[in-house]
Amino acid sequence: MNIGVFDSGLGGLTILKALLKELPEYNYIYLGDNARVPYGNRSAETIYEFTKQAVDFLVKKNCRLIIIACNTSTATSLRRVQREYLPKFYPEIKVLGVIKPAVEKLFERKFARIGVIGTRATINSKAYVKEIKKLLPNSIIYQQACPLLVPYIEDSGRNKKTLDSILDEYLSSLKKRNIDALLLACTHYEIIANEIKSYMGAKTNVLTEGIIVAEKLKDYLDRHPEIEKKIDKQKKVEYHFTDANSDYKKLKELFLG
């Protein structure tokens, strides 16, 4: 069997890249729904439908363990997939997301004043706030939706001046809050992590999710040897995209390196 990795588009390749670095021995199938990206401005119901379709596809590709690398899908749909869809159609399949690993990392590092940035759907779902409060009930959390960042990162004509003004628009109030951690809760943001770090200054720890998800998946597989031993280990990676548009090769290079 394979490990499935799903994202709304190509941004999830930042997560796959970390998985390939930390856990290179396994076979992976990546699915990017680039025909319908971005999910971030869609309704929770639509994202749930798309996420179920992705699960169907990856199950057909012999994935028994699926990582939803997309924050927007995780935030709006993971619980429903786990509680409603899997028990009915695929009781033997495990689907994991990116929120729990990231929140566990915030807990381990005992952050108290936390900023979370993501798409509109991720922020509106309050999924991060709910999960952080379970582990860090006394923490203070500030959320900010950054809908312009995904198109900015995907746009080939990126320039620093535009980014500076977008960051200023979204991050200036977070910067005034004296947060000790800023979680980049979107697959794409890792690409501009350095710019975000220099904007926020040295006092704020900027956390990207790729490495965290890889580390937590390693823990998970150590704790579940019955799953680990069934995963094929030929280091094969298959990529599937729902649209072979002209941008996808360029974006694959950007996100995967």
Residues with a known catalytic role: 70, 186
* Site membership for ligand DGL, residue 14 (CB under 6 A): no
Count residues contacting ligand DGL (CB under 6 A)?
18
Minimum separation from the CB atom of position 101 to ligand DGL (A): 14
Burial class (CB in 10 A: 0-12, 13-18, 19+), 142: middle
Locate 32 and state its tokens: 């990017």
Query: What's the CA gap between 137 and 43, in Å, rounded?
Result: 29
Q: Is 32 in the site for ligand DGL (CB under 6 A)?
A: no
Residue 125 binds to ligand DGL (criterion: CB under 6 A)? no
11 binds ligand DGL (CB under 6 A): yes
Residue with CB nearest ligand DGL?
40
What is the rounded distance in angstroms from the CA atom of residue 241 to the CA atom of residue 248? 8
Q: Shortest Cβ distance from residue 174 to ligand DGL (Å)?
A: 18
Residue in 3, 5, 8, 97 binding ligand DGL, rule: CB under 6 A: 8
**What minimum distance in Å lies between the beta carbon of 40 and ligand DGL?**
3
Q: Decide if 200 contacts 176 (C-beta within 8 A).
A: no
List the one residue from 150, 171, 212, 254 that touches ligand DGL (CB under 6 A).
150
Preceding amide of 38 cis, omega within 30: yes
Binding ligand DGL by CB under 6 A: which of 51, 71, 139, 204? 71
By beta-carbon proximity to ligand DGL, the closer residue of 78 and 231 is 78
**Residues at the interface with ligand DGL (CB under 6 A):** 7-9, 11, 37-40, 70-72, 118-119, 122, 150, 186-188
